[in-house]
Structure 1
Amino acid sequence: MGLALVSALECGLEGIGFAESAGLPVPVGVLFGLIVGSSLLVRRRWPISVVLVSMAVTPAEMGFLMGIVGLYTLAASEVPRRITAVLASMSTVAVFVVTFVRMRQDVAQADVGQPDIDPSGWYVPVVSLFMTLGLNAPPVLFGLYIGARRRLMESLRERADSLEQELSLLADRAEQRAQWARQEERTRIAREMHDVVAHRVSLMVVHAAALQAVALKDPQKAVRNAALVGDMGRQALTELREMLGVLREEAVPVAPAAVPLAAVGRAAAAAAEAAADDGPRLDALEALCEQSRLAGAVVELVVMGEARAYPPEVERTAYRVVQEALTNVHKHAVGAAVVVRLAHREAEVAMQVENGPRPADTKVADAQLPSGGNGLVGMRERVLRIGGVFVSGATDAGGFRVSAVLPVAE
Structure 2
Amino acid sequence: MWPRRRIVGETLLALVLALLTALTLPNASVPRAVAVAVAVVVAVLLRRAFPGSVLVLTAVPAGALGAFWLLLMVVSWSAGSRIEAPRRALTLFAASYVLYAGLSVQQAAFPLSAPQTLLFATLGFLAAVVVPGLASRYRAQRHRLLRALHEQNAQLLREREIIASHARLRERQRIAQDMHDSLGHQLALIAVHTGALEVDRGLTDGQREVVGVLREASVAAMHELREAVGILRDGTPDRAREREDAPETVTRGAAGIDALVAAARGTRAVVQLQHTGEAMPLAPAADHAAYRIVQEALTNALKHAPGAPVTVALRYEPDSLVVEVANGPVPATAEDAGRTVVSGGQGLTGLQERARLVGGLVHAGATADGGFRVAGVLPYPRRESTTFVDTADDFRGQSGGRVPGDGGDLIDWSGPPDRQKEFDIAMGKRKKGLWIGCGGALLAFVVLGGLAVVFVVKLVGDEADKLMLDPSVYDSVRVGDTEAAVRDRLPHGRSFLAQALDSDHGAPPAPRGATCSSYLSSGDWPDGGGKAPAFRFCFRDGRLIEKRTFMSTS
Q: TM-score range by the shorter chain?
A: 0.3 to 0.5
TM-score, normalised relative to structure 1: 0.47
Identify the structure with bigger relative contact order (alpha carbons < 8 Å, sequence gap 6+): 1
